[in-house]
Amino acid sequence: MNYKDIIIILKYGDFMKNKKGFTLIELLAVVIILGVIMTIAIPNIVSTLDKNKRDSIIKDARRIISSAEYTIRSDTKMEYPDSSTVVIITLNRIKNLNLDVSSFDTYYSKDKSFVAITAEPMQSGDMRMVYYVHLVSCGDETCAGDDAEAIAKNRGINLAREDDLESVDRFELVVKGADLKMDYLDQSSINYQDVKTKVSRSNAIIYK
């Protein structure tokens, strides 16, 4: 052993002698703490992501209503609603709207999604137009899937008034699976009775 080895031993010997690794109990404690953190964090992250996706669909619904308002005002062939009539405009007929895929990676249905417009009297005696939106999106572009797996992918908003899109509970408007009503405009519906009942009107005009 030369003098250099002696100097190293004298300098670092005590440090090396006192250095210890983690005990099994310490490692176990770290694992438990990490597990608790993950248990708390992961649900919060998932909930935040889901809320953001719901918020995106609500924003899409607002865009659809805004475009429907422009459409009925600019298309001279479309009739305005009166006190007993609801005007229904599907996404196919709404202008200035480029909307295909939702935040849930589902396809918006241009046939099943629509805006319903009614007229309500104001205190001044004039009528104001009130907008409702029904938004349907599916795992496939045609919304033709009717098995359990396909239905589970459905996302959207059941016929809701424009005001509801601004409410505190607006995120609850976004529903999924079998909770989403798909047949408002089906051929089997008798003159769109469900829509008329929902908005309290006796007549309906539809633009597909």
179 contact partners, CB below 8 Å, separation of at least 6: 158
Query: 28 falls in which pLDDT band (50, 70, 90)?
Result: confident
Bridge partners of residue 207, in order along the sequence? 89
Query: 81 falls in which pLDDT band (50, 70, 90)?
Result: very high
Residue 15 has pLDDT above 50, yes or no: no
Taking the alpha carbons at both ends of the chain, their separation in whole angstroms is 96
Calculate mean pLDDT across residues 129-157: 94
Query: 48 falls in which pLDDT band (50, 70, 90)?
Result: confident
In angstroms, the CA 155 to CA 49 distance is 15
In angstroms, the CA 140 to CA 107 distance is 6
Looking at every residue in the chain, the average pLDDT score rounds to 87
What predicted TM-score, i.e. pTM, was given to this entire model?
Answer: 0.79
Contacts 24+ apart (CB under 8 A), 178-181: 178/151, 178/154, 180/136, 180/154, 180/155, 180/156, 181/134
What is residue 63's three-state secondary structure? helix
Alpha helices in the chain (DSSP H): 3-18, 24-74, 148-152, 193-199
Query: 10 falls in which pLDDT band (50, 70, 90)?
Result: very low
pLDDT at 40: 78
In angstroms, the CA 88 to CA 200 distance is 14
State the virtual CA torsion across 150, 152, 154, 157 in degrees, nearest 10. Answer: 160
Place of tokens 């248990």: 39
